[in-house]
């Protein structure tokens, strides 16, 4: 089953993505919990705004990292995991 890149991800209501200086990285905060995101997840997360589609996020990061061939696949994988964990919804 192929991933529909036209879908638009948004964070689940009440979940907050932010940079934590003390941890030198991005986190996803939710009721009484926190996920520490690695650098690439942090970059993808920073582009989730309820407006950009997955395709737009891929395009933006491909421009930023032209030497990395797997950007699109990595982003799709992130979206699959984030949706399965109910961190995001895809509309």
Partner 1 sequence: MPSTGSASPEVPVGLPLWLLAELTYRCPLQCPYCSNPLDFANQGQELSTAQWFQVMAEAREMGAAQIGFSGGEPLVRQDLNELIGEARRLGYYTNLITSGIGLTEQKIAAFKQAGLDHIQISFQASDEQVNNLLAGSKKAFAHKLEMARAVKAHGYPMVLNFVTHRHNIDRTDRIIELCLALEADFVELATCQFYGWAQLNRAGLLPTREQLQRAERITNDYRERLKAEGNPCKLIFVTPDYYEERPKACMNGWGSIFLTVTPDGTALPCHGARQLPIAFPNVREHSLQHIWYDSFGFNRFRGFGWMPEPCRSCDEKEKDFGGCRCQAFMLTGDASNADPVCSKSDRHGVILAARAEAEYAAQSITDLAFRNERNSHLIVKS
**Residue closer to partner 1 (CB basis): 31 or 66:** 31
| Nearer Cβ to partner 1 (29/56) | 29
Shortest Å distance, C-beta 89 to partner 1 = 9
Residue 33 CB contacts under 8 Å (≥ 6 apart), including other chains: none
| Binding string, residues 23-52; x marks residues near partner 1 by CB under 8 A | x---x-xxxxxx------------------
> Shortest distance, CB of residue 39 to partner 1, whole angstroms?
18
Q: How far is it, in rounded angstroms, from Cα 50 to Cα 40?
A: 19
What are the Cα distances from residue 39, in Å, to 6, 24, 42, 73, 78? 24, 10, 5, 16, 12
């Amino acid at each position: 089953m192929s991933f529909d890149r036209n879908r638009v991800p948004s964070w689940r209501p009440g979940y907050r993505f932010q940079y934590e200086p003390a941890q030198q990285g991005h986190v996803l905060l939710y009721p009484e919990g926190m996920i520490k995101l690695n650098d690439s997840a942090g970059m993808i997360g920073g582009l989730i705004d309820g407006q950009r589609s997955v395709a737009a996020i891929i395009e933006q990061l491909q421009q930023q990292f032209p030497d990395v061939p797997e950007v699109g696949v990595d982003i799709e994988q992130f979206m699959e995991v984030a949706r399965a964990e109910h961190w995001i919804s895809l509309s």
